[in-house]
Structure 1
Amino acid sequence: MAGETVITVIGNLTRDPELRSTSRGNVVNFTVASSTRTFDRNTNQWQDGDTLFMNCSAWDTARTSLASNIAGSLSKGMRVIVQGRLTQRSYQAQDGTQRTVVELRVDEVGPALSRATAQVTRQTSQGGFAGRNDGNGFGGNGGFNGGGYNGGQNAGQSSGFGGYSGGASTGFGAAPAQSAPASAPQTGADPWGSSAPAGGSFGSFGGSGDFGGNGDEPEF
């Protein structure tokens, strides 16, 4: 969305992610501590500088289970890479005072692999276009269901739009048999001397008779 501040924070989780269920769905909250590192020439050692404590939140949506995945994958002390949008919200504290906090609305998060290893388990997609079984659209049991072309297997039994499995079952009927071509004109005969056959003049070019088909074949 235009105008939003997108940042990436790399740091360690200060606590286990807390997953809560609300009226809007599942939400997870966690905090990332990101410290700067400076090199001290006097001691020839790296030292920790100021630490940024970034409060983060993520939600489950109709397309993703981001909040649930974070709660089931990450724990206190893990080093993570978090990308999201800075947001500001106000709330009333228990003492009645009005407070404002800045937090990171997480879009993507993953473990940092500079000093660790991770095993990724891919989840089965919950979405996809489930095709109708009445022969409309892509026909058959699928359309794009499961990520593949399942449509068209049963399409020839109804509407005839069969996707990749159309072929002979498209429902338009078999092509009419082609008649043998007329014999070649005799040597020396003028090929334009004879009159044009009925229905085959240039004025009516494009009809069903111009391509050897019958009158029942639909025109384009």
Structure 2
Amino acid sequence: MSGEATTTIIGNLTDDPDFRHTPAGDVTHFTVASNPRIQDRTTGEWRDGDTLFMPCSVWRVPAEHVAASLHRGARVIVTGRLRQRSFETSSGEKRTVVELDADEVGASLRFTSAKLISAGTAQTNGAAATVQ
């Protein structure tokens, strides 16, 4: 759609993906921690920047693949649309969160390798290979 905020985030999963069956369809929720490296201009030394924790969700068939293939600590690349959602807690507090509605989720091969299995030929529920 025109005008949607699309973004890509690279980071590590903070926990195992959470797969659920809902009336709206299958969904997997996960959070990506992205830690930028920043160079100090005065000393030239590198340090960790502030960590961004981005809640993400992926729907339908890719939800199954993410849940079966990825695990806590896995480095991932996620592309999707930013969504802002407001809600009220059980105690009556109003909250607003920004989430990434993922179109694509993949394992980063920067520090690991993976053997890909086509969803049509996989042995277990059509899921891809687990990334170690």
Please indicate the TM-score interval, normalised by the length of the shorter structure.
0.7 to 0.9
Partner residue in 2 for 1:119: 115
Partner residue in 2 for 1:190: none
Partner residue in 1 for 2:35: 35
- The Cα shift of 1:124 comes to 2.0
TM-score by structure 2 length? Answer: 0.85
1:79 maps to a residue whose letter is R
Partner residue in 2 for 1:97: 93
2:15 maps to a residue whose letter is R
User: Is residue 67 from structure 1 mapped to residue 63 from structure 2 by the alignment?
Assistant: yes
Counterpart CA distance in 2 for 1:71 and 1:45 is 38
Runs of 4+, deviation exceeding 4 Å: none
Q: Percentage identity across aligned positions?
A: 51
Say which structure is richer in helix: 1
Counterpart CA distance in 2 for 1:86 and 1:7 is 7
Counterpart CA distance in 2 for 1:33 and 1:124 is 31
- Residue pairs, 1:1-220, within 5 angstroms: 1-40=1-40, 42=43, 45-60=45-60, 65-124=61-120
Say which structure is richer in strand: 2
Counterpart CA distance in 2 for 1:89 and 1:6 is 16
- The Cα shift of 1:45 comes to 4.4
Q: Greater RCO between the two (CA within 8 Å, min separation 6)?
A: 2
2:24 maps to a residue whose letter is R
Structure 1: gaps (5+ residues): 126-220
Query: What's the secondary structure of 2:36's corresponding residue?
Result: strand
Counterpart CA distance in 2 for 1:16 and 1:97 is 28
TM-score by structure 1 length? Answer: 0.52
Aligned positions, number: 120
Larger Rg: 1
What root-mean-square deviation, in Å, do the aligned CA atoms of Structure 1 and Structure 2 show? 1.5
